Amino acid sequence: MSDHDQPHLPPPSLWPIGFAAGIACILAGLVLSWAVAAVGAVIAIGFGFLWIRDVTKPVRMPAPAVEPEARPARTVTSPAPAADEVATYPRSTFLSAATLGLGGVIGGIITVPVLGFAVLPAFTNQTEQDVDLGPLENFPESEFVIATYLEDENVGEVTRRTMFIRNNGQLDGKPSFTALYSRCAHLGCPVQPNGPVEDAQKKTYGDHVELIPVLAVGFGCPCHGGQYDTEGNRVAGPPVRALDRAEFSIRDGNLWLGNFYSVAKVEGAGARARIKKYGRAVPGVHVDGASAWLYPLEVPK
């Protein structure tokens, strides 16, 4: 048999590679950014369409009839097709399409549960527990108190947090408090108050809450020199925003802390401060302005 008698196989296609790259972008985007996932979806859809178009080309565009070469007649043992019998879908094309579809179904059955177990827990059950810090009498007006507590007593010391609490007095007949989180907005190091800590006046409430008065004129990070004023605004060093804060509420004469949130900047002071509030972000991430668009989607904290 000469080389002319060999069947002509279709040339290799790059569409499956592009389709796989799009799926990889989608999976990476679920962790990094929705924008990356959207780009991956566009790539996967585009290359998937081209792949399907390439696979179904023999059906959509039948090969033109070619005048056979003058050769000795060969004996045909297979029966000739009937006059009205037309090959509309070659078996090879059907098998290719069936293999592609079955592979997609199997891949989805395997991938979706894995992604669910790996990704969804980071986006669910992330609300903080409200914490009772004790009676309002333990927080003198216009003074800071260092409050340490366990957010979840069942988990233990790993949930211990430190807050800087200041009683701002009354605003329109309602109590006002400033609750600054002691985590630096640069890399998350523990921030220390700039001023004497009155350890001798330490108070306790319950089994896991400690309250220590402090004459704070600001706050500083001992790791990289970040400095904050008494409203939590960055005044020096590498932090990219103000200190995070916690919501508060008054219940039966006690101060309760609620959910945390991030702050870009605070204008004013005390009870009349105007806070540019955002969803809680990890340290080192801008929360406002054009710089905020340079960071990927963050997992809720």
User: Alpha-carbon distance 238 to 236, whole Å?
Assistant: 7
Single pTM value for the model: 0.61
Helices (H) and strands (E) in the chain, counts: 4, 13
Strand partners, 262: 278
Q: How many other β-carbons are positioned within 10 Å of the β-carbon of residue 61?
A: 8
Residue position matching structure tokens 């010391």? 157
Q: Return the axis-axis angle of helices 15-29 and 34-55, rounded to nearest 10°.
A: 160
The residue type found at 115 is L
Tens of pLDDT, residue by residue, the chain (301 residues): 455 555 555 555 678 888 888 888 888 877 677 788 888 889 889 888 888 877 777 666 666 666 656 566 566 566 665 655 555 656 777 777 777 777 778 877 777 776 666 666 555 555 667 899 999 999 999 999 999 999 888 888 888 999 999 999 988 888 999 999 999 999 999 999 999 999 999 999 988 899 999 999 999 999 999 999 999 999 999 999 999 999 999 999 999 999 999 999 999 998 899 999 998 888 988 888 777 776 655 544 5
User: Alpha-carbon distance 111 to 198, whole Å?
Assistant: 56
